[in-house]
Chain A
Amino acid sequence: MFDFLIEGFGVALTPLNLGLAFLGALLGTLFGALPGIGPINGIAILMPLAYTLGLPAESALILLAGIYTGAEYGGRMSSILLNVPGDAGAVMTTLDGHPLAKKGLAGPALGLSAVSSFVGATIAIIGLTLFAPLLAEVAVMFGPAEFFALMVFAFSSMSVMMGKDPIKTAIGAVLGVLIATVGVDSGTGVMRYTFDMPELYDGIDFVVMIIGLFAISEILLMLEHAHRKDGDGELPPLGRVFVSLKEVLYCKGAMWRSGLLGFIIGVLPGTGASVAGAVSYTTEKRLSDQEGTFGKGDMRGLAAPEAANNAAAAGSFVPMLTLGIPGSGTTAVLLGALMLYNITPGPMMFTERPEVAGGLIASLYIGNIVLLALNLPLAGVFARVLTIPRWVLVPAIAILAFVGVYQLHSDLTAIYLMLIIGVFGYLLRKLGFSLAPVILGYVLGGLMEQNLRRALSISGGDTSILWQSGISLGLWIAAASLLVLPWLVPRLLARRHAA
Chain B
Amino acid sequence: MSQVTKPVADRLLGIALIGLAAFVAVQAINLEVPFSYEPVGPRAFPLGLAILLAGLSLPLVFKPGADGHWPHKALTLRLLLVLGLLLAYAMLFTRLGFIPTSLLVVAALARLFGASNGKALITGVLLSAGSYVLFTEGLGIALPTGTWLAALI
A residues apposed to B, CB below 8 Å: 49, 52-53, 165, 167, 170-171, 174-175, 177-178, 181, 185, 187-190, 192-193, 216, 219-220, 222-224, 226-227, 389-392, 394-396, 398-400, 402-403, 406-407, 410, 412, 415-416, 419, 422-423, 430-432, 449, 452-453, 456-457, 460-461
Contacts and interface: CB of A to CB of B under 8 A. Distances in A.
Interface of B: 9-10, 13, 17, 24, 27-28, 31-34, 36-42, 45-46, 49, 52-53, 56-57, 59-60, 65, 68, 70-71, 75, 78-79, 82-83, 86-87, 89-91, 93-94, 98, 102, 105-106, 109-115, 119-120, 123-124, 127-128, 131, 135, 139-144
7 contacts: A188-B41, A189-B34, A220-B79, A222-B113, A223-B82, A224-B71, A453-B38
Contacts of A402: 89-90, 93
Could you say which of B45, B52, B83, B98 has the most chain A C-beta atoms within 10 Å of its C-beta?
B45
A396 B127 contact: yes
A187 B36 contact: yes
A140 B141 CA distance: 41
A143 to B, nearest CB: 16
A481 B143 CA distance: 53
Contacts of A406: 93, 143-144
B65 to A, nearest CB: 7
Q: Which 4 A-B pairs have the closest CB atoms?
A: A461-B39, A391-B115, A395-B106, A391-B113
Contact of B56 (A167, A188, A216, A403): A167
Nearest to B71: A224
A191 to B, nearest CB: 8
Interface of B is mostly: helix
A252 to B, nearest CB: 42
Given A174-B52, A193-B24, 7 more contacts: A192-B42, A193-B27, A392-B127, A396-B131, A412-B91, A432-B68, A452-B45
**A396, A416, A461: residue with the most chain B Cβ atoms closer than 10 Å:** A396
B9 to A, nearest CB: 6
Contact of A423 (B42, B49, B83, B131): B83
Nearest to B57: A171
B90 to A, nearest CB: 5
A250 B83 CA distance: 51
A118 B140 CA distance: 35
Contact of B106 (A170, A227, A398, A449): A398
Which of A224, A403, A460 gathers the greatest number of chain B CB atoms within 10 Å? A403
A398 B105 contact: yes
A219 B110 contact: no
Nearest to B85: A398
Contacts of B75: 223-224
Contacts of B143: 403, 406
Nearest to A181: B46
Contacts of A174: 49, 52-53, 56
A206 B94 CA distance: 23
A481 B83 CA distance: 44
A391 B139 contact: no
Contacts of A422: 86
B62 to A, nearest CB: 12
Nearest to A52: B139
Nearest to B28: A192
B29 to A, nearest CB: 12
Nearest to B89: A402
Contacts of A394: 109-110, 113
B45 A449 contact: yes
A416 B90 contact: yes
Nearest to A171: B56
B142 A410 contact: yes
Contact of B49 (A178, A389, A412): A178
A219 to B, nearest CB: 7
Given A174-B49, A419-B86, A190 B115 contact: no
Given A399-B106, A461-B40, A412 B93 contact: yes
A431 B68 contact: yes
A178 B20 CA distance: 10
A432 B13 CA distance: 11
